[in-house]
Amino acid sequence: MLTGKKIVLGITGSIAAYKAAVLCRALIKRGAEVQVVITPAGKEFITPVTLSALTQKPVVSAFFTANDGTWNSHVDLGLWADLMLIAPATAATIGKIANGVADNMLVTTYLSMKAPVFVAPAMDLDMYAHPATQRNLERLKSYGNHIIEPGTGLLASNLDGKGRMEEPDRIVNRIERFFEKEKELAGNKVLITAGPTQEKIDPVRYISNYSSGKMGFALAEECAGRGAEVFLVSGPVERTTVHPRIKRIDVETAEEMYQAAASHFPEATIAILCAAVADYRPAQYSKNKLKRQAAPALSLELTPNPDIAAALGEAKKNGQLLMGFALETENELSNAQAKLRKKNLDFIVLNSLQDRGAGFRGDTNKVTVMDAEGNASPFPLKSKSEVAADLVDLLVNKKRTTE
Protein backbone atom coordinates (compact mmCIF):
# COMPACT_ATOMS: atom_id res chain seq x y z
CA MET A 1 0.00 0.00 0.00
CA LEU A 2 1.00 3.61 -0.51
CA THR A 3 -1.10 5.00 2.32
CA GLY A 4 -0.14 8.56 3.16
CA LYS A 5 2.63 8.74 0.57
CA LYS A 6 2.86 12.07 -1.21
CA ILE A 7 3.77 11.63 -4.85
CA VAL A 8 4.56 14.28 -7.45
CA LEU A 9 3.58 12.82 -10.82
CA GLY A 10 5.39 14.53 -13.68
CA ILE A 11 3.75 14.09 -17.07
CA THR A 12 5.46 15.01 -20.34
CA GLY A 13 4.47 15.22 -24.00
CA SER A 14 4.42 11.61 -25.11
CA ILE A 15 1.50 9.68 -26.55
CA ALA A 16 1.83 7.45 -23.46
CA ALA A 17 0.49 10.44 -21.45
CA TYR A 18 -2.96 8.96 -21.99
CA LYS A 19 -1.90 6.18 -19.59
CA ALA A 20 -1.08 8.78 -16.93
CA ALA A 21 -4.76 8.92 -15.94
CA VAL A 22 -4.73 5.18 -15.20
CA LEU A 23 -1.42 5.57 -13.38
CA CYS A 24 -2.81 8.44 -11.32
CA ARG A 25 -5.88 6.39 -10.41
CA ALA A 26 -3.79 3.35 -9.44
CA LEU A 27 -1.55 5.45 -7.15
CA ILE A 28 -4.57 7.02 -5.46
CA LYS A 29 -6.36 3.67 -5.12
CA ARG A 30 -3.38 2.35 -3.18
CA GLY A 31 -3.56 5.28 -0.79
CA ALA A 32 -1.19 7.88 -2.26
CA GLU A 33 -1.81 11.61 -2.46
CA VAL A 34 -0.86 12.76 -5.96
CA GLN A 35 0.13 16.19 -7.24
CA VAL A 36 0.44 16.39 -11.00
CA VAL A 37 3.03 18.61 -12.64
CA ILE A 38 2.69 18.62 -16.42
CA THR A 39 4.81 20.12 -19.19
CA PRO A 40 3.20 22.38 -21.81
CA ALA A 41 3.58 19.56 -24.38
CA GLY A 42 2.03 17.08 -21.94
CA LYS A 43 -1.18 19.13 -21.94
CA GLU A 44 -1.50 18.47 -25.68
CA PHE A 45 -1.88 14.77 -24.92
CA ILE A 46 -4.01 14.72 -21.77
CA THR A 47 -6.18 17.44 -20.34
CA PRO A 48 -5.46 18.90 -16.90
CA VAL A 49 -9.21 18.68 -16.14
CA THR A 50 -9.04 14.87 -16.19
CA LEU A 51 -6.00 14.88 -13.94
CA SER A 52 -7.27 17.44 -11.45
CA ALA A 53 -10.58 15.55 -11.19
CA LEU A 54 -8.69 12.34 -10.42
CA THR A 55 -6.26 13.89 -7.93
CA GLN A 56 -8.66 16.45 -6.41
CA LYS A 57 -5.89 19.02 -6.80
CA PRO A 58 -5.23 21.71 -9.39
CA VAL A 59 -2.65 20.54 -11.90
CA VAL A 60 0.56 22.55 -11.85
CA SER A 61 2.08 23.48 -15.19
CA ALA A 62 3.27 27.09 -15.23
CA PHE A 63 5.36 29.07 -12.75
CA PHE A 64 2.40 31.43 -12.25
CA THR A 65 -1.36 30.99 -12.54
CA ALA A 66 -2.18 33.47 -15.30
CA ASN A 67 -5.45 34.95 -14.04
CA ASP A 68 -4.50 35.76 -10.43
CA GLY A 69 -0.69 35.64 -10.44
CA THR A 70 -0.45 32.85 -7.82
CA TRP A 71 3.11 31.54 -7.72
CA ASN A 72 3.45 27.75 -7.97
CA SER A 73 6.41 26.89 -5.77
CA HIS A 74 8.57 24.11 -7.14
CA VAL A 75 10.66 24.38 -3.99
CA ASP A 76 7.63 23.59 -1.80
CA LEU A 77 6.79 20.61 -4.00
CA GLY A 78 10.35 19.36 -3.65
CA LEU A 79 9.99 19.42 0.13
CA TRP A 80 6.41 18.08 0.19
CA ALA A 81 6.94 14.90 -1.82
CA ASP A 82 7.93 11.44 -0.57
CA LEU A 83 8.64 10.51 -4.18
CA MET A 84 8.61 12.01 -7.66
CA LEU A 85 7.59 9.90 -10.63
CA ILE A 86 8.05 11.18 -14.17
CA ALA A 87 5.83 9.03 -16.38
CA PRO A 88 5.83 9.20 -19.29
CA ALA A 89 9.28 10.77 -19.60
CA THR A 90 10.15 11.92 -23.13
CA ALA A 91 13.66 12.05 -24.55
CA ALA A 92 13.42 15.86 -24.31
CA THR A 93 12.56 15.88 -20.60
CA ILE A 94 15.16 13.20 -19.86
CA GLY A 95 17.73 15.38 -21.63
CA LYS A 96 16.64 18.49 -19.72
CA ILE A 97 16.64 16.94 -16.27
CA ALA A 98 19.95 15.16 -16.91
CA ASN A 99 21.53 18.49 -17.83
CA GLY A 100 19.66 20.91 -15.59
CA VAL A 101 17.85 22.79 -18.35
CA ALA A 102 15.24 24.38 -16.09
CA ASP A 103 12.88 25.94 -18.62
CA ASN A 104 9.58 24.56 -17.33
CA MET A 105 7.83 23.83 -14.06
CA LEU A 106 8.46 20.09 -14.24
CA VAL A 107 12.22 20.47 -14.63
CA THR A 108 12.47 23.07 -11.85
CA THR A 109 10.43 20.76 -9.60
CA TYR A 110 12.82 17.92 -10.43
CA LEU A 111 15.83 20.10 -9.59
CA SER A 112 14.29 21.09 -6.26
CA MET A 113 13.28 17.53 -5.37
CA LYS A 114 14.52 16.20 -2.05
CA ALA A 115 12.75 12.85 -2.45
CA PRO A 116 13.75 9.86 -4.61
CA VAL A 117 12.93 10.24 -8.30
CA PHE A 118 11.64 7.52 -10.64
CA VAL A 119 11.72 8.05 -14.39
CA ALA A 120 9.68 5.94 -16.83
CA PRO A 121 10.91 6.67 -20.37
CA ALA A 122 8.49 6.51 -23.30
CA MET A 123 9.64 7.09 -26.85
CA ASP A 124 10.30 5.56 -30.21
CA LEU A 125 12.84 2.72 -30.31
CA ASP A 126 15.51 4.67 -32.20
CA MET A 127 15.23 7.67 -29.92
CA TYR A 128 15.53 5.36 -26.91
CA ALA A 129 18.55 3.54 -28.36
CA HIS A 130 20.32 6.78 -29.36
CA PRO A 131 23.60 7.27 -27.46
CA ALA A 132 22.42 10.74 -26.37
CA THR A 133 19.37 9.28 -24.62
CA GLN A 134 21.36 6.41 -23.16
CA ARG A 135 24.02 8.79 -21.87
CA ASN A 136 21.36 10.97 -20.28
CA LEU A 137 19.76 7.94 -18.60
CA GLU A 138 23.16 6.84 -17.29
CA ARG A 139 23.66 10.33 -15.96
CA LEU A 140 20.31 10.21 -14.17
CA LYS A 141 21.30 6.88 -12.61
CA SER A 142 24.53 8.44 -11.40
CA TYR A 143 22.42 11.11 -9.63
CA GLY A 144 20.65 8.25 -7.80
CA ASN A 145 17.48 8.42 -9.90
CA HIS A 146 15.65 5.17 -10.59
CA ILE A 147 14.95 4.31 -14.21
CA ILE A 148 11.89 2.19 -14.92
CA GLU A 149 13.00 0.47 -18.12
CA PRO A 150 10.54 0.72 -20.99
CA GLY A 151 8.96 -2.42 -22.40
CA THR A 152 9.34 -3.89 -25.88
CA GLY A 153 6.39 -4.04 -28.26
CA LEU A 154 4.32 -2.09 -30.76
CA LEU A 155 4.98 1.65 -30.55
CA ALA A 156 2.80 4.59 -31.59
CA SER A 157 4.98 4.92 -34.70
CA ASN A 158 3.83 1.40 -35.68
CA LEU A 159 7.41 0.25 -35.28
CA ASP A 160 8.14 -2.63 -32.96
CA GLY A 161 10.87 -2.28 -30.37
CA LYS A 162 11.98 -1.03 -26.95
CA GLY A 163 10.48 2.26 -25.88
CA ARG A 164 6.93 1.63 -24.58
CA MET A 165 6.36 3.14 -21.18
CA GLU A 166 6.12 0.41 -18.56
CA GLU A 167 2.51 -0.51 -17.74
CA PRO A 168 0.95 1.63 -14.97
CA ASP A 169 0.29 -1.34 -12.66
CA ARG A 170 3.89 -2.45 -12.87
CA ILE A 171 5.12 1.08 -12.20
CA VAL A 172 2.96 1.27 -9.09
CA ASN A 173 4.15 -2.17 -7.93
CA ARG A 174 7.74 -1.03 -8.33
CA ILE A 175 7.08 2.07 -6.23
CA GLU A 176 5.30 0.06 -3.56
CA ARG A 177 8.23 -2.37 -3.40
CA PHE A 178 10.63 0.58 -3.11
CA PHE A 179 8.84 1.86 0.01
CA GLU A 180 8.56 -1.67 1.47
CA LYS A 181 12.27 -2.29 0.97
CA GLU A 182 13.14 0.97 2.73
CA LYS A 183 11.64 -0.47 5.93
CA GLU A 184 13.64 -3.70 5.93
CA LEU A 185 16.81 -2.30 7.49
CA ALA A 186 15.45 1.00 8.80
CA GLY A 187 17.13 1.90 12.09
CA ASN A 188 20.17 -0.28 11.33
CA LYS A 189 23.71 0.91 10.87
CA VAL A 190 25.71 -1.17 8.44
CA LEU A 191 29.49 -1.12 8.23
CA ILE A 192 30.98 -2.17 4.90
CA THR A 193 34.63 -2.46 3.91
CA ALA A 194 35.37 -2.34 0.19
CA GLY A 195 38.12 -2.17 -2.38
CA PRO A 196 41.82 -2.96 -2.04
CA THR A 197 44.30 -1.53 0.39
CA GLN A 198 47.59 0.03 -0.67
CA GLU A 199 50.64 -0.70 1.44
CA LYS A 200 53.33 1.86 0.86
CA ILE A 201 56.85 0.78 0.02
CA ASP A 202 58.25 4.25 -0.67
CA PRO A 203 56.76 7.59 -1.85
CA VAL A 204 56.03 6.21 -5.34
CA ARG A 205 55.31 2.49 -4.88
CA TYR A 206 52.88 0.29 -3.06
CA ILE A 207 51.67 -3.32 -2.72
CA SER A 208 48.03 -3.84 -3.64
CA ASN A 209 45.63 -6.12 -5.54
CA TYR A 210 43.07 -6.03 -8.36
CA SER A 211 39.97 -5.34 -6.24
CA SER A 212 37.73 -2.73 -7.91
CA GLY A 213 35.35 -2.12 -4.99
CA LYS A 214 32.34 -2.88 -7.22
CA MET A 215 30.88 -5.59 -4.97
CA GLY A 216 31.27 -3.54 -1.79
CA PHE A 217 29.81 -0.41 -3.39
CA ALA A 218 26.86 -2.44 -4.73
CA LEU A 219 26.29 -3.76 -1.21
CA ALA A 220 26.40 -0.23 0.20
CA GLU A 221 23.73 0.97 -2.27
CA GLU A 222 21.58 -2.07 -1.55
CA CYS A 223 21.74 -1.65 2.24
CA ALA A 224 21.00 2.09 1.96
CA GLY A 225 18.05 1.28 -0.33
CA ARG A 226 16.72 -1.00 2.42
CA GLY A 227 16.72 1.93 4.82
CA ALA A 228 20.03 1.40 6.64
CA GLU A 229 22.56 4.07 7.44
CA VAL A 230 25.76 2.86 5.80
CA PHE A 231 29.38 3.49 6.73
CA LEU A 232 31.41 2.52 3.71
CA VAL A 233 35.10 2.24 4.50
CA SER A 234 36.79 2.12 1.15
CA GLY A 235 40.32 1.62 -0.06
CA PRO A 236 41.49 3.63 -3.11
CA VAL A 237 38.98 3.00 -5.95
CA GLU A 238 37.60 5.03 -8.85
CA ARG A 239 33.98 4.80 -7.72
CA THR A 240 31.27 7.11 -6.53
CA THR A 241 28.39 6.49 -4.17
CA VAL A 242 24.88 7.54 -5.05
CA HIS A 243 22.56 7.00 -2.09
CA PRO A 244 22.43 9.86 0.43
CA ARG A 245 22.36 7.42 3.35
CA ILE A 246 25.91 6.23 2.54
CA LYS A 247 28.70 7.86 4.49
CA ARG A 248 31.98 7.13 2.77
CA ILE A 249 35.25 6.95 4.65
CA ASP A 250 38.27 6.76 2.36
CA VAL A 251 41.41 4.99 3.54
CA GLU A 252 44.59 3.74 1.93
CA THR A 253 46.23 1.16 4.14
CA ALA A 254 44.97 -1.91 5.99
CA GLU A 255 45.89 -0.23 9.27
CA GLU A 256 43.73 2.82 8.40
CA MET A 257 40.90 0.53 7.29
CA TYR A 258 41.15 -1.39 10.55
CA GLN A 259 41.00 1.85 12.61
CA ALA A 260 37.97 3.15 10.70
CA ALA A 261 36.13 -0.19 10.80
CA ALA A 262 36.86 -0.77 14.49
CA SER A 263 35.61 2.71 15.42
CA HIS A 264 32.27 2.26 13.61
CA PHE A 265 31.66 -1.38 14.52
CA PRO A 266 30.24 -0.84 18.04
CA GLU A 267 27.24 1.09 16.65
CA ALA A 268 26.70 -1.28 13.70
CA THR A 269 24.12 -4.07 13.68
CA ILE A 270 25.61 -5.55 10.52
CA ALA A 271 29.15 -5.53 9.15
CA ILE A 272 30.00 -6.75 5.67
CA LEU A 273 33.72 -7.20 5.10
CA CYS A 274 34.11 -7.10 1.40
CA ALA A 275 37.51 -5.42 1.14
CA ALA A 276 40.50 -7.26 -0.29
CA VAL A 277 42.81 -6.29 2.53
CA ALA A 278 46.52 -6.79 1.92
CA ASP A 279 47.68 -9.46 4.33
CA TYR A 280 51.15 -7.93 4.59
CA ARG A 281 52.79 -4.53 4.40
CA PRO A 282 56.43 -3.57 4.02
CA ALA A 283 58.11 -3.79 7.40
CA GLN A 284 59.88 -0.52 6.68
CA TYR A 285 58.59 2.44 4.75
CA SER A 286 61.38 4.16 2.90
CA LYS A 287 61.01 7.95 2.97
CA ASN A 288 63.14 8.16 -0.14
CA LYS A 289 62.51 6.34 -3.39
CA LEU A 290 64.27 2.98 -3.37
CA LYS A 291 67.08 2.96 -5.87
CA ARG A 292 67.95 0.20 -8.31
CA GLN A 293 70.84 -1.71 -6.78
CA ALA A 294 73.84 -3.36 -8.24
CA ALA A 295 73.00 -6.64 -6.49
CA PRO A 296 70.75 -8.99 -8.53
CA ALA A 297 67.85 -9.20 -6.10
CA LEU A 298 66.09 -6.82 -3.76
CA SER A 299 64.34 -8.34 -0.76
CA LEU A 300 61.42 -6.62 0.81
CA GLU A 301 60.64 -7.62 4.35
CA LEU A 302 56.91 -7.86 5.02
CA THR A 303 55.00 -7.73 8.26
CA PRO A 304 51.40 -8.92 8.80
CA ASN A 305 48.49 -6.50 8.71
CA PRO A 306 45.66 -6.64 11.23
CA ASP A 307 42.88 -9.06 10.25
CA ILE A 308 39.87 -6.74 10.39
CA ALA A 309 37.29 -9.51 10.03
CA ALA A 310 38.85 -11.56 12.82
CA ALA A 311 39.10 -8.53 15.13
CA LEU A 312 35.44 -7.62 14.58
CA GLY A 313 34.47 -11.29 14.98
CA GLU A 314 36.14 -11.29 18.39
CA ALA A 315 34.41 -8.05 19.42
CA LYS A 316 31.01 -9.16 18.06
CA LYS A 317 28.10 -8.88 20.50
CA ASN A 318 24.60 -10.36 20.47
CA GLY A 319 22.52 -8.65 17.83
CA GLN A 320 25.44 -8.00 15.51
CA LEU A 321 25.79 -9.91 12.24
CA LEU A 322 29.07 -10.36 10.39
CA MET A 323 29.43 -11.30 6.74
CA GLY A 324 32.87 -11.94 5.25
CA PHE A 325 34.12 -12.86 1.79
CA ALA A 326 36.52 -15.54 0.68
CA LEU A 327 38.29 -15.71 -2.62
CA GLU A 328 39.69 -19.21 -2.92
CA THR A 329 41.63 -20.99 -5.62
CA GLU A 330 41.54 -24.51 -4.12
CA ASN A 331 39.44 -26.53 -1.62
CA GLU A 332 37.01 -23.64 -1.81
CA LEU A 333 34.17 -24.87 0.41
CA SER A 334 36.30 -26.27 3.22
CA ASN A 335 38.66 -23.27 3.23
CA ALA A 336 35.74 -20.85 3.35
CA GLN A 337 34.02 -22.83 6.11
CA ALA A 338 37.23 -22.83 8.16
CA LYS A 339 37.54 -19.06 7.68
CA LEU A 340 33.96 -18.52 8.83
CA ARG A 341 34.67 -20.37 12.06
CA LYS A 342 38.09 -18.83 12.65
CA LYS A 343 36.81 -15.27 12.22
CA ASN A 344 33.51 -15.88 14.07
CA LEU A 345 31.40 -14.83 11.07
CA ASP A 346 27.70 -15.48 10.56
CA PHE A 347 28.05 -15.76 6.78
CA ILE A 348 30.91 -16.21 4.37
CA VAL A 349 30.55 -15.45 0.67
CA LEU A 350 32.74 -17.61 -1.47
CA ASN A 351 33.78 -16.55 -4.95
CA SER A 352 36.02 -18.92 -6.75
CA LEU A 353 38.57 -17.68 -9.25
CA GLN A 354 37.80 -20.85 -11.19
CA ASP A 355 34.33 -19.56 -12.09
CA ARG A 356 34.11 -17.44 -15.22
CA GLY A 357 32.67 -14.01 -14.50
CA ALA A 358 33.29 -14.26 -10.75
CA GLY A 359 35.56 -12.26 -8.51
CA PHE A 360 37.67 -9.18 -9.18
CA ARG A 361 36.93 -6.20 -11.44
CA GLY A 362 34.04 -7.60 -13.55
CA ASP A 363 30.42 -6.49 -13.31
CA THR A 364 29.21 -9.98 -12.49
CA ASN A 365 29.78 -12.42 -9.69
CA LYS A 366 28.93 -16.02 -8.89
CA VAL A 367 28.88 -16.82 -5.21
CA THR A 368 28.15 -19.60 -2.75
CA VAL A 369 27.12 -18.40 0.69
CA MET A 370 27.78 -20.47 3.78
CA ASP A 371 26.29 -19.76 7.16
CA ALA A 372 27.43 -20.60 10.68
CA GLU A 373 24.95 -23.51 10.81
CA GLY A 374 26.79 -25.19 7.95
CA ASN A 375 24.26 -24.51 5.17
CA ALA A 376 25.70 -23.69 1.74
CA SER A 377 23.59 -21.86 -0.87
CA PRO A 378 25.00 -21.62 -4.38
CA PHE A 379 23.75 -18.71 -6.53
CA PRO A 380 23.96 -18.46 -10.32
CA LEU A 381 26.09 -15.87 -12.17
CA LYS A 382 24.45 -12.45 -11.74
CA SER A 383 25.28 -8.76 -11.89
CA LYS A 384 27.03 -7.49 -8.76
CA SER A 385 23.95 -5.44 -7.81
CA GLU A 386 21.76 -8.55 -8.05
CA VAL A 387 24.27 -10.49 -5.96
CA ALA A 388 24.18 -7.63 -3.44
CA ALA A 389 20.38 -7.95 -3.25
CA ASP A 390 20.65 -11.73 -2.62
CA LEU A 391 23.24 -11.20 0.12
CA VAL A 392 21.23 -8.48 1.84
CA ASP A 393 18.12 -10.71 1.65
CA LEU A 394 20.04 -13.33 3.65
CA LEU A 395 21.03 -10.75 6.27
CA VAL A 396 17.49 -9.35 6.51
CA ASN A 397 16.04 -12.88 6.94
CA LYS A 398 18.63 -13.76 9.56
CA LYS A 399 17.81 -10.58 11.48
CA ARG A 400 14.10 -11.38 11.28
CA THR A 401 14.53 -14.88 12.64
CA THR A 402 16.87 -13.90 15.47
CA GLU A 403 15.02 -10.82 16.72
Active site residues: 209
Q: Which stretch binds ligand C5P (CB under 6 A): 33-41, 51-59, 121-129, 274-282?
A: 274-282
**Does residue 324 interact with ligand C5P by CB under 6 A?**
yes
Closest contact distance (angstroms) between CB of 359 and ligand C5P is 13
For ligand C5P, the closer of residues 102 and 262 by Cβ is 262
Torsions phi, psi for 105 (to 5 deg): -65, -35
**Does residue 371 interact with ligand C5P by CB under 6 A?**
no
Exactly one of 16, 36, 86, 277 binds ligand C5P (CB under 6 A); that residue is 277
Closest contact distance (angstroms) between CB of 352 and ligand C5P is 13
What's the alpha-carbon Rg for the chain, to the nearest Å? 25
**Does residue 192 interact with ligand C5P by CB under 6 A?**
no
**Does residue 309 interact with ligand C5P by CB under 6 A?**
yes
Bond before 306 cis per omega within 30 degrees:
no
Exactly one of 176, 202, 307, 386 binds ligand C5P (CB under 6 A); that residue is 307
Q: Which stretch binds ligand C5P (CB under 6 A): 75-83, 87-95, 321-329, 372-380?
A: 321-329
CB 78 within 8 A of CB 117: no
One-letter identity of residue 129: A
How many angstroms separate the CA atoms of 49 and 237, rounded?
52
DSSP 14-69: SGGGGGHHHHHHHHHHTT-EEEEEE-TTGGGTS-HHHHHHHHTSPPB-SSB-TTT-
CB 373 within 8 A of CB 364: no
**Does residue 326 interact with ligand C5P by CB under 6 A?**
yes
- The contact pattern for ligand C5P, residues 330-369, with x = CB under 6 A and - = no contact, is ---------x------------------------------
Longest pairwise C-alpha distance within the chain:
89
CB 259 within 8 A of CB 253: no
Question: Residues 39, 41, 45, 46: what is their CA dihedral angle, to the nearest 10 degrees?
Answer: 30
**Does residue 17 interact with ligand C5P by CB under 6 A?**
no
Q: Which stretch binds ligand C5P (CB under 6 A): 222-230, 301-309, 350-358, 380-388?
A: 301-309
How many angstroms separate the CA atoms of 121 and 165, rounded?
6
For ligand C5P, the closer of residues 229 and 279 by Cβ is 279
Exactly one of 8, 246, 254, 389 binds ligand C5P (CB under 6 A); that residue is 254
Q: State the residues that interact with ligand C5P by CB under 6 A.
A: 193, 254, 273-275, 277, 279, 305, 307-309, 324-326, 339
